[in-house]
Structures are given as structure tokens and as C-alpha cells.
Structure 1
Amino acid sequence: MSPHGDDHYDSYGGDHGPAGTDGRLTRTRLPDGDGDAFGTGRRPRPTTKPSRSLLTVVTVVVLLIAAIAFANRGGGDSDDGDGGGSGDAKGNQAQSTAPTGERPVKGKDTTTGIATGFPRTEQGAQSAAANYAVALGSAEMYNRERRREIVPLIFASNAVARMQSELDRAYTKDSLAELGLDENGKAPKGQTYVSRTAPVGTKITDYANTTATVEVWCTGAFGTAGEGSKTPVANDWFTTTLKLRWSNNDWKVDSFAQKNGPAPVNADRTASTAEEITKAVEEYGGFTYAR
């Protein structure tokens, strides 16, 4: 299931080949006489200086290799540093992640590990949205005190108080109990609550100098691992839409919403045991996501 159940989680707030030369290429004939036993013409006597024709051929080959290498760099250039890809009916490019030489993020918060300092570009907005979607779908959000550390880092300053209040109302004692958690978002002894979100892709749907709307297609694992769990860990697919604003030299969230899917067909794979899931959650750390 998604971080907030199966229901729609609505918004909280509102490239020319190498140049030729002037030299004319000539054809060289081998002498007819003095052939060897196999009928092959005599080899030409080596010279101490390469012919102009040979130099021309070598130059063309070198330039051609250089042109091919240049064309293959980074999967192509674009304004936002992304590679090309297929697009939708609106002309939005589904662009692949490619190295751009740009540092995608300046650092991380030492307490929460959430990335901060995203560049003021479309690429930066997508990176911010991906990382914020992970934070919003983390198990830490179910704990009131941890949530109070996370929200100020990802939301715009004028939205922090409102979001704290609305999220407190979403994570009530009763709603946590339905997930098998206590009022502090903790699972019963011997069990581990899992809430791990992984972005699959991002898409800019609106961008301006100080605002951006980004959709983040996600998958994840959610539920409680352990003997006696009534909510076993299952995978989910959902899309989180984040409305961002440039605030204090970084992208911050004004509001966000969530909807189900797109979801692929489940693979015919045997589910792991609760112990394997718990071990994986403890041993495999998360990533800083960059576009």
C-alpha cells in the first residue's frame, strides 16, 4: 500500500561530418613485371616521406573518429542536461538520466539525511521532487517528533505550520492503529514497520522562474514485517505530484498530492519471509536521487 493507504491522497494546500581537404586523391598502380611466383605485382619501394594522399586519408580518419566520439558524449545535449526520449501527446519528453557534469545537490541535512541545495533549473526541481517524495513516504513520517524535523526541511517556510497541523490530523492515533502502530508510529515488539519509497521517474508539468510542478512516479514497500502482523509488507505503485517554489535559495514544497498507479502486472515471484524483509530494510540504505 502507499504511505497513506489506497485512497487518493489529495493536495495539502493549494547534431556534420569532418571537413575535406583541397588535395586530390590519386590511384597508384603496381608494376606489371617481375611478379612473384603467385602472380602478384612487385611491392612498391618504400619512401622516406608519406605521400600527400596518405596524409589526407589519415587526417580524414582521425577527424571522423573525433566526430563520432563527440556525438556520443552524454547521450546528447539539451537545456536541462537530460538525454532525449519518447514524448507524450503534449510534447513532454520522457527524458533519461544522463551525466551532465553538474553537481545535482549541494549537501544533506545531517539529522534527517534529506538532500538540500538543489539548483534553480528544471533538473534541480525534478531532483528535489524525487527526494522529497522519498521523505514524505518514509517510516519517519509516522512519528510525530521526526515529522516535525522533516517538514521544515522540505516545505516552504510559510507552509510549515499548516502542513504540520494537517499531517498531525492525518496521522491520528486511530489511523496509526489501523496500520498496527502505536501513537508514536512504532510497531509492536518483534515487528518492524516498513515504509520505503523509490522514485521510478519524474516529469515536469509546469515550470517558471520561481515555481514548478513535478510528478514523481514511485514504487515502494509498505507494511509490518514480523510474526503475527496483520498488515504484511506489500509493494505499491503511485504518483506523487509536488508543487514547488523557489524559497531561500532552494526548491521547497508548497503542496503535494498522491494518486494510485501506473502499476505494472505483478511478477510471479515467491514472497520473502518477514525476517528477510526486515534484514533488507536494516541493511540496504537509501539514495540521494538526482535527475
Structure 2
Amino acid sequence: MRRDRHLGNWITGGLVGFLLIAAVVSLLGLPGEDRSDLTFGGGDVRALPVGDAAQDAGATEEVAGIPAGFPQSVDGAVSAMMTYRNAADAALFRTSQERAEIAYRIFTDEGLLASGLSDQAALEAQERLGVNEAGVAERGDGSLDPTRTAFAVCAYELGAYRVASVVSNSVVSPGPGEPAQLPTEVVVTTWSPCLSGVGGTQDVAEVDIRWSLQASALRWDDGDWRVDTVYPDDAAPEPADPNDVAVTFDERARLLGKGWTLPADATEEVAPAFWAEGTR
């Protein structure tokens, strides 16, 4: 397996960082979250708590195969962030119609304008990786190799997350058991291994691993959480063996420290199908 500090330059126009939307926001110079208090490690943190948020958790519908319709809660926002950031990369390997449907659903109007997710970006990514529209690798003779697919995904179950801020609105007449306030804006940071390249179960030599800190602001808009701003990635702490994505819970606690939470589907093991999944 190959590691490369300059991952993702295969995405359009020399964008830095392999996540398309994060890279575009970085180039545009959009305002970023003040994370001056974001520290790692230190203190006697024996274990990180396990939260209720996870990729796809709580979704009530699908849009072009992407889980959507998350609850209006902080956990719902965190789950939406994990789901939608991977969805933005997966959309590079979908049809034009599906890409448009995904982009329209996962972004606010402002986020969509800044995202850079376009047919041209998808075509350039496919050409750089040598894959077809569906992300399947093409051989030199033009035939397809179904054992090798595009990877553009972050494995949030192998990482952790931190809720940085929450803005809530009061509920005028909450019913019995209903919250008096509902969140409308949530900023969340994740730490996870992110994979890019082309590979498969039998061949991961060209799949790059980057430990990534991603921060996104999500806004409750038209009945669902939507990505409003994606901040440039920060330098992330790395495990003792950066090539091993199966980081123990103890090591995550040591690396990250207080304020971080394990997702509901957190695991210390890599599933047998992990390297066969490609984009999610």
C-alpha cells in the first residue's frame, strides 16, 4: 500500500487534498472555522465515549442511492456530514443525472455553488484514475477490470468525531417528550483514514491512505441537513503505523484526547469486504 502526502491531485485543476469539495473551498479562500482550541492528546483519557452518530445512521430515504433525510438533531447532523462528504466523492463516478441529484440534495444553495462538483470534474477524475463512469478500472486494451475500482472514501468507523459548535432555535410549542430547542447549524470535525486511488481486494498497491481532519458546517434546510461550508483540512495526528487503518480505541484516545467521540459503528477491525467497497 502506498502513502502519498500529495493525495488527490488527480482531481481537477491541481486541487489540493483528495476530497473534491474540501479542495475547492480551500482554493476559493472561504472563511474557515476558528479551531485554535483544537488540541490533541494529553490528559488521562482512558477511553473515548461512543456516540449515536455514524455514516448512514438515521437516514429515512435515498436520493440516487445515497442515504438522506436525517433527523433534526446533533447526531443527525454528524451522521449527515459523514454520509454526504463520502457521497460527494462517490458522485464523481455516477451518471450526470445522478450527480446532479446528489449535489442538489446534499448541499445548501451556497454550498452547491462553492462545491465544484461538476461533470467536468468527474470526467477529469475518471481520466486521471483510468476508470469508467462507474469507477471500474480500464485495462490498456480498453476492457474493464471489475476486480479494481476507484477509491475516494473516508472510513469514519475507523476514526472519531468532535462537535465544535451548535446553533439552536427554540420550539414554539413543544409537545410531550419533544425538545424545547432544535439545532439548525452544527459544525463537526472528523478524524479518519481517507483512501484514494484504484484497487481491490487482491491489489491495493495504488490506494493511498491519508489521515485526515475534516470540518464541515451543516445547516438545517428544507427538512434535512445540508453541507453549507467545508473547511480546508488541517494536519492530522497519525497512528504509530499510518499504513494500518485498524487503529485501536486505546490509540484513538491517546492520539485525540478529550472532546472526541467514537461513532456508533466504530470498530478496531477491517472487514473482509473493506478493500472491495471502493467509493461508498
Which residue is 1:7 aligned to? Answer: 16
Q: Percent identity?
A: 19
What CA distance in whole angstroms lies between the structure 2 residues aligned with 1:97 and 1:126? 13
Which residue does 1:201 correspond to in 2?
160
Distance 1:264 1:236 in 2: 11
Flag the structure with larger Rg: 1
**Inter-CA distance 177–205: structure 2 relative to 1 (3 Å threshold):** same
TM-aligned CA deviation for residue 135 of structure 1: 1.8
Cα distance in 2 for partners of 1:174, 1:285 equals: 17
Q: Give, in whole Å, the separation in 2 of the partners of 1:242 and 1:142.
A: 22
In the aligned structure 1, how far is the partner of 2:204 from the partner of 2:51?
Answer: 42
Q: Deviations over 1:245-288 (max 9, x none)?
A: 1111221111213425332232687xxxxxxx9965547996xx
Q: Please say if 1:168 is aligned against 2:125.
A: no
What corresponds to 1:109 in structure 2? Answer: 62
Residues matched between the structures, number? 196
The alpha-carbon distance between structure 1 residues 211 and 230, as it changes in their structure 2 partners (threshold 3 A), is closer
Higher relative contact order (CA 8 A, sep 6+): 2
- TM-score normalized by the length of structure 2: 0.54
Q: 2:105 aligns with which of 149, 153, 160?
A: 153
Tell me the equivalent position of 1:126. Answer: 78
Return the offset for 1:111.
Answer: 3.4
Report the Cα distance in structure 1 between the residues aligned to 2:243 and 2:8, rounded to whole angstroms.
26
Distance across 2 between alignment mates of 1:238 and 1:153: 25
SS of equivalent residue, structure 2 residue 137: coil
- Contact 1:134-1:198 within 8 A present in 2 as well: no
CA–CA distance in structure 2, aligned partners of residues 178 and 284 of structure 1: 16
CA–CA separation in structure 2 for the residues paired with 1:232 and 1:134: 20
Instruction: Please tell me whether residue 266 in structure 1 is matched to residue 241 in structure 2.
Output: yes
Structure 2 unmatched runs, 5+: 10-14, 18-22, 31-37, 139-143, 169-183, 245-270
Aligned pair 1:187/2:162, yes or no? no
Q: What residue number does 1:218 align with? A: 192
Q: TM-score, normalised by structure 1?
A: 0.52
| 1:243 aligned partner, one-letter code | A
Q: Does the residue aligned with 2:130 lie in a helix, a strand or coil?
A: coil
Cα contact 1:181–1:187 (8 A) shared by 2: yes
Match of 1:79 in 2: none
Please give the secondary structure, in 1, of the residue aligned with 2:155. strand
- CA separation in 1, counterparts of 2:136 and 2:243? 32
Q: Amino acid of the residue matched to residue 197 of structure 1?
A: C
SS at match of 1:177: helix
**Change beyond 3 A, Cα 1:170–1:265:** farther
Q: 1:224, 1:129 → 2: CA distance?
A: 24
1-side partners of 2:193 and 2:95: how far apart?
24
Q: Aligned partner of 1:266: which letter? A: D
2:206 to 212, 232, 235: 232
CA contact (8 A) 2:216 2:231 kept: yes
CA, structure 1 residues 262+151, in 2 after alignment: closer, same or farther (shift >3 Å)? farther
Q: Is the 8 Å Cα contact of residues 218 and 238 (structure 1) preserved in structure 2?
A: yes
- Tell whether the 8 Å contact from 2:111 to 2:229 is kept in structure 1 after alignment: no
Show CA shifts across 1:126-171 (max 9, x none). 2222222232343x43335232232122112x2375256x222772
1:202 deviates by 1.6
The code of the aligned residue for 2:197 comes to G
Hey, what does 1:178 align to over in structure 2?
128
Deviation of residue 106 (structure 1)?
4.7
Q: Is 1:142–1:171's contact at 8 Å kept on the other side of the alignment?
A: no
Amino acid at match of 2:238: A
Structure with higher strand content: 2
Mapped to 2, the partners of 1:115 and 1:185 lie a distance apart of 22
> Do the aligned partners of residues 10 and 99 (structure 1) sit closer, same or farther apart at CA in structure 2, a change above 3 Å counting?
closer
Over residues 212-262 of structure 1, what are the superposed CA-to-partner deviations in whole Å (9 max), with x where a residue is unaligned?
221122213321127xx9971232211222111111122111121342533
Compute the RMSD of aligned alpha carbons. 4.2
Q: Secondary structure at the match of 1:97?
A: coil
